[in-house]
Structure 1
Amino acid sequence: MYRIGRQTFDTFVEILQCNPILKSRGQKPQRHVQWQLGCFLICYGQLGSPAHDTMLKMGIGYGTVILYCRRVTRALRETFATWLNEKELQESTDAILAKVGFPNCAGSGNGSLIQSLQPSWMGLAYLSRKGFFALAIQAIVNHGIWFASWELGWPGSVTDSRIFKNSHFWQHRDQYLKYGQYILVDKGYPSTPYTV
């Protein structure tokens, strides 16, 4: 059901349980990381398994599915796709300058769609502009096409620009890009001092 083996699942649990996002901060304790990771894997690991289907399989509320998926996505992003450190950022800008001639370019970003079946709940929200049901994903990569940032889980009808403006990267862009650095983006994105 989770689309990964038990050993891999246990390894992810061990890695993620140290992340403060998956630890309780208030009086009401969070469910164990195993539950939250399992919910995430059911929701995103099956073709067309939106939050409604996952909530029925796990016996939890719709909002709880969304909450668990957001927590796990954020924890995975912080663990495996951390933004470039100073050295990596300089390597990326140097490599892009040498290869294509863009000075101070840190990488590139774009969105894509993960095709799915029609969800049983809020189905039209997942209908993409390309005419099929999908989840939207957006990523920023460095010169070596390594993921430096991503957003996952938006319905397919949401525009790349809206996902980008709500992303952690955009909301903290001044912390990620310094000294006049920017990323290259597709034509659907805003043109700003941080994006070209």
Structure 2
Amino acid sequence: MFRLTRPCFESLLEVLSTRPEMEVRPDMFGGRERVGLEKTVLIALRYFAHQGNIRSISELFDVADSTVVICRNRVVAALMALKETYIKWPLDHRKQRHISNKFQEKRGFPGVIGAIDATHIQIQPPNEHPQAYVNRKSYHSIILQAVCLPDTSFSNCFIGWPGSVHDSRVLKNSELWAEGENVCGENHIVGDGAYPLNQWLLTPYRDNGNLNAEKKRYNYIHSSTRTVIERSFGILKGRFRRLHFIETKEMETSCDIGVSCCVLHNFCIQHGDIGEEFIEEDYGNCHAAAVQADNDNTGATKRDGIARNLR
């Protein structure tokens, strides 16, 4: 019902019990209603894991609708405070080498320390500029951009841009764009053709029907390496089905819920609860059109060198 194993849930309770965000103030709940830590976390997990409305959760736990919202917000605040603890870029050279080796073991693509993509989270039409949030599939959404590791955990998350915005523009407005070269060093991440090619982000060759065997092999191995981010999103949205549709009109709340689920996703993986049984196709992938104009020469040279040596 709550999409976590019992040992993982117990570990989560232990971590959240130390968070000041989980402390209950005397004026937090009305009347006689007081909700303890375990019930608060269970209410929040039920909210994350299912698409039912607030009323269905309040009836399940025999609490007021407002109590469900309060419990959700407390857990979200605690998880947001833990974001930097559980979603971390591998800056250490030894960690990057280990990650690169894991990626290379899969398909033979060298130097990869992450796979990047974006997924859409459906939302209620916001009060301001609602049309900007209508995506290519004609529903209102915000975009979650993420980079994942070979074990499907996330090393970087960026959320909140309107659904009509192209993936490349989202990237260019994230911290990762400014810091990518420094945090990747000689390594790189892999992304699909929606992203610009450079020395720290390698994309496939554009296939106009006349690619040679070398470039076709590169594209195949690149695609096979990159699919781990699709699995990551599939597990994330399969476990936390709230991310199929967040009903609140408060944009900050929607974004915080999205990031909180990413934190929980990593927490679960770190505690051995991988979540493969929840994996599903990511219907939030809107497959942005490929871009080519922003490709740079250093990235092209690096890509050509890798393509020549792939076997």
TM-score by length of 1: 0.61
Residue equivalent to 1:151: 158
Residue equivalent to 2:190: 184
Runs of 5+ unmatched residues, structure 1: 1-6, 17-40, 48-71
CA distance in 2 between partners of 1:12 and 1:153 (Å): 29
CA distance in 1 between partners of 2:20 and 2:191 (Å): 32
1:191, distance to aligned residue in structure 2 (A): 0.6
The reply to whether residue 14 of structure 1 matches residue 19 of structure 2 is: yes
CA distance in 1 between partners of 2:149 and 2:187 (Å): 12
CA distance in 2 between partners of 1:79 and 1:153 (Å): 21
Residue equivalent to 1:193: 199
CA contact (8 A) 2:114 2:189 kept: yes
SS of 2:117's equivalent? strand
How do 1:1-196 and structure 2 match up within 5 A?
Answer: 11=16, 14=19, 76-84=82-90, 85-178=92-185, 180-196=186-202
Which one-letter code corresponds to 1:81 in the other structure?
I
CA distance in 2 between partners of 1:125 and 1:13 (Å): 40
CA contact (8 A) 1:77 1:149 kept: no
CA distance in 1 between partners of 2:20 and 2:175 (Å): 22
Q: Say if 1:12 and 1:139 are closer, same or farther in 2 by CA, change over 3 A.
A: farther
Structure with larger RCO (C-alpha < 8 A, sep 6+): 2
Q: Larger % of helix: which?
A: 2
Q: Say if 1:156 and 1:175 are closer, same or farther in 2 by CA, change over 3 A.
A: same
CA contact (8 A) 2:181 2:199 kept: no
Residue equivalent to 2:306: none
Q: Deviations over 1:66-85 (max 9, x none)?
A: xxxxxx96x55423211013
CA distance in 2 between partners of 1:12 and 1:163 (Å): 35
Q: Say if 1:77 and 1:192 are closer, same or farther in 2 by CA, change over 3 A.
A: farther
Q: How many residues align?
A: 139
Q: Say if 1:139 and 1:13 are closer, same or farther in 2 by CA, change over 3 A.
A: farther
1:121, distance to aligned residue in structure 2 (A): 2.3
Q: CA RMSD in A?
A: 3.1
Identity of aligned residues (%): 27
SS of 1:106's equivalent? strand
SS of 1:149's equivalent? strand
1:125, distance to aligned residue in structure 2 (A): 1.3
CA distance in 1 between partners of 2:99 and 2:183 (Å): 13
CA distance in 2 between partners of 1:125 and 1:12 (Å): 40
Q: Larger % of strand: which?
A: 1
Q: Say if 1:190 and 1:143 are closer, same or farther in 2 by CA, change over 3 A.
A: same
CA distance in 2 between partners of 1:77 and 1:154 (Å): 19
1:14, distance to aligned residue in structure 2 (A): 2.4
CA distance in 1 between partners of 2:125 and 2:181 (Å): 38
CA distance in 1 between partners of 2:169 and 2:135 (Å): 14
1:87, distance to aligned residue in structure 2 (A): 2.9
CA contact (8 A) 1:183 1:194 kept: yes
